[in-house]
Amino acid sequence: MPAIQLLPDLLISQIAAGEVIERPASALKELLENSLDAGATDITVQLENGGIKLLRIRDNGKGIAKDELKLALMRHATSKIASLDDLQSVASMGFRGEALASMAAVAQLTLSSRTHVDTHGWKVEAIDGQLSEPEPTNQALGTTVEIRELYFNTPARRKFLKTEATEFAYCEEAFKRVALSRPEVAFSLQHNGKIIWQLAAGQEAIKRVAAVLGDAFGQAAVEVSRNATSLSLQGLAALPAYSRANRDAQYFFVNGRFVRDKVASHALRQAYQDILHHQRHPAFVLFLDIPPEQVDVNVHPAKSEVRFRESQGIHQFIFHSVQQALAIPAQTANQTPQQSATFVPMQQNMSLGIAQSNAAYRVGETYSEKGKNVFDEGNYGTATVLNIASTESKQASPFAHHDQTIPPLGFALAQLSGIYILAQNQHGLIVVDMHAAHERIVYEKLKSSLDAEKISTQPLLIPVSFYADTLDVATAEAEHAALHQLGFDIAPLSPTTLAVRAMPALLKQSEAENAAREVLNELRDFGASRVLTERRNELLGTLACHAAVRANRILSVTEMNALLREMENTERSGQCNHGRPTWFQVTLKELDKMFMRGQ
């Protein structure tokens, strides 16, 4: 036997199939994509035993002509591209011409189709890679593909398949991804004869998201909608309280294709960094549209990865779009008009706070500036915060309310346990964690003043001196400029004493030593350039925590109201720096329910 020989065709396909068709779910994904590429508007999926025993998918697309049926099952046969130029600007989901051939190599496959010129359908079968001649069959306009006994002829591979329930779960996930990306198409999914999903055609993208991921996601999400010259990012990003312990609610699509992309993941992680606890994962459904020639989709056999020509620009675009959408301060969200005011009458369109309650979690039950309720028209409390142009939000002043109106976070009533502020707005009771809220306010102020290079400093009448080791003293001397930029003036008094002579006005003088130590430690461990860039927000967060009002500080009603008004004006004020909520709304409706009033 010669040392080197050409492999038989079937074996080549079986090897290739290992990459493209890992499990029933990957076959399902390929078949769904083929149906979409064929222009189908109605797609039905039937699975048996997790898709291992049977996977049948029927579409009403343009079909395949009788004399092309066998071709469709051959390797490197595609109708979607013909040249390298086509590949570089490919807009269809498929283009490699190998999905059906791979399936035919590792399963018993039947392909039936009927085009609009046929009077009846035709089918071909592939068994052990052998293709039968086309035979007439009963088939409506469109195509049906049946895959039976996946990997029956490659037992080693079949062993890797998991239980029926697990394989079904993977299939369902593949189905959801495609269904999310094409709301104009009707989809249904059956498993072992039971209908699992039925999604009507022509849904608005946002409704499809709610249908697939559930209302809770919709209610906790803000809309992301940003267009640049050739880029667009649309979709929903959930606020931190909807975050997950894993990445299972992350859907990112590039030109309609679900992908796992490092650039996008990193940008999204960063966009959430400030408001999400580091052990939680954000939830989102986002669609990036980009000219096809700016993205390479031919990176991975299953096309689950892409490569951007301008990855830096894409990163920035995603980061800014999502960060801005998440930054909605309480005051920008609009009032829901039909909520009956229980005490002072309110203006329509007045801003409303973000409402959160445990029973029915709602971070932001609001309407867009057009008054559009996204998820559930007419049902109070189920809409979502919509992204409102930031310029607009910046102009709005919380003090611009009509005398008779109530600000979003209402007016303070009392302080509870030295920890919470209780306030009343038109919906009922607001409970604020005063430390968490204040911390966020100070943090945001520190960030924006550092950005503008004008952290206002306060000189200390009596400098605060403290014992420091020689390294601290050396750091204070060497990093004088960085300290100055951060609003500190720290000078050595002796080889083992440092004195804080000035500090940021936003911080408390009583915290001078702690704050100075914090900053010096950072500078010592990481150096000025890192402290002022990548570590900056963490440091400002720590400083803000020192500066924020502590529990058990008694606040006057005026002080409490001032804090509420500042919250309304502060970006991201719905969460503290660590991603915990800063306030909750308990509506009168919820109180009524608790007391069984009107039931």
- Interacting residues with Mg ion (CB under 5 A): 34, 94, 99
**What part of residues 89-128 is at the interface with ligand ATP (CB under 6 A)?**
94-101
Q: How far is the CB of 111 from ligand ATP (least distance, A)?
A: 8
**What part of residues 131-150 is at the interface with ligand ATP (CB under 6 A)?**
143
Residues 21, 59, 276, 501: which binds ligand ATP (CB under 6 A)? 59
Please say which residue, 95 or 583, places its beta carbon nearer to ligand ATP. 95
Q: How far is the CB of 33 from Mg ion (least distance, A)?
A: 5
Task: Name the strand (E) or helix (H) holding 31.
Answer: helix 24-37
Tell how far CA 471 is from the center of its chain.
44
Residues 30, 439, 489, 590: which binds ligand ATP (CB under 6 A)? 30
Residues 13, 34, 331, 585: which binds ligand ATP (CB under 6 A)? 34
Decide if 251 contacts 224 (C-beta within 8 A): no
* Partner in contact with 374, chosen from ligand ATP, Mg ion, none, beta carbon below 5 to 8 Å by kind: none
* Partner in contact with 301, chosen from Mg ion, ligand ATP, none, beta carbon below 5 to 8 Å by kind: none
Residue 511: exposed, middle, or buried by beta-carbon count in 10 A (0-12, 13-18, 19+)? Answer: middle
* Partner in contact with 64, chosen from ligand ATP, Mg ion, none, beta carbon below 5 to 8 Å by kind: ligand ATP
Instruction: Characterize the bridge pairing of strands 194-199 and 186-191.
Output: antiparallel
Please say which residue, 93 or 275, places its beta carbon nearer to Mg ion. 93
Task: Name the strand (E) or helix (H) holding 157.
Answer: helix 155-158
Task: Please give the order of strands across the beta sheet that includes 583-587.
Answer: 411-416, 420-425, 428-433, 583-587
Residue 118: exposed, middle, or buried by beta-carbon count in 10 A (0-12, 13-18, 19+)? Answer: middle
Task: Name the strand (E) or helix (H) holding 48.
Answer: strand 42-48
* Partner in contact with 35, chosen from Mg ion, ligand ATP, none, beta carbon below 5 to 8 Å by kind: ligand ATP
Please say which residue, 33 or 489, places its beta carbon nearer to Mg ion. 33
Task: Name the strand (E) or helix (H) holding 111.
Answer: strand 108-114
**Site for ligand ATP contains 13 (CB under 6 A):** no
**Site for ligand ATP contains 178 (CB under 6 A):** no
Please say which residue, 34 or 575, places its beta carbon nearer to Mg ion. 34
* Partner in contact with 143, chosen from Mg ion, ligand ATP, none, beta carbon below 5 to 8 Å by kind: ligand ATP
Please say which residue, 133 or 377, places its beta carbon nearer to ligand ATP. 133
Residues 70, 80, 226, 524: which binds ligand ATP (CB under 6 A)? 80
- Residue 127 has phi, psi (to 5 degrees) of -130, 125
Task: State how far the Cα of 420 lies from the Cα of 428, in Å rounded to an integer.
Answer: 16
**Alpha-carbon distances of 491 from 473, 475, 516, 594, rounded to whole Å:** 8, 10, 11, 59
Q: How far is the CB of 309 from Mg ion (least distance, A)?
A: 24
Retrieve residue 197's tokens: 């999903």
Task: State how far the Cα of 38 lies from the Cα of 83, in Å rounded to an integer.
Answer: 20
* Partner in contact with 59, chosen from ligand ATP, Mg ion, none, beta carbon below 5 to 8 Å by kind: ligand ATP
CA-closest candidate to residue 476, choices 410, 543, 528: 528
* Partner in contact with 566, chosen from ligand ATP, Mg ion, none, beta carbon below 5 to 8 Å by kind: none
* Partner in contact with 61, chosen from ligand ATP, Mg ion, none, beta carbon below 5 to 8 Å by kind: ligand ATP
Task: State how far the Cα of 179 lies from the Cα of 211, in Å rounded to an integer.
Answer: 10
**Site for ligand ATP contains 64 (CB under 6 A):** yes
Three-class DSSP labels, 441-507: HHHHHHHHHHHCCCCCEEEEEEEEEEECCHHHHHHHHHCHHHHHHCCCEEEEEECCEEEEEEEECCC
Q: How far is the CB of 96 from ligand ATP (least distance, A)?
A: 3
Q: How far is the CB of 232 from ligand ATP (least distance, A)?
A: 25
Task: State how far the Cα of 171 lies from the Cα of 147, in Å rounded to an integer.
Answer: 14
Residues 38, 354, 450, 564: which binds ligand ATP (CB under 6 A)? 38
Question: Measured at CB, which residue is nearest to Mg ion?
Answer: 94
Residues 26, 60, 78, 569: which binds ligand ATP (CB under 6 A)? 78
Please say which residue, 80 or 207, places its beta carbon nearer to ligand ATP. 80
- Residue 302 has phi, psi (to 5 degrees) of -90, 5
Where does this chain bind ligand ATP (CB under 6 A)?
30, 34-35, 37-38, 59, 61-64, 72, 77-80, 94-101, 143
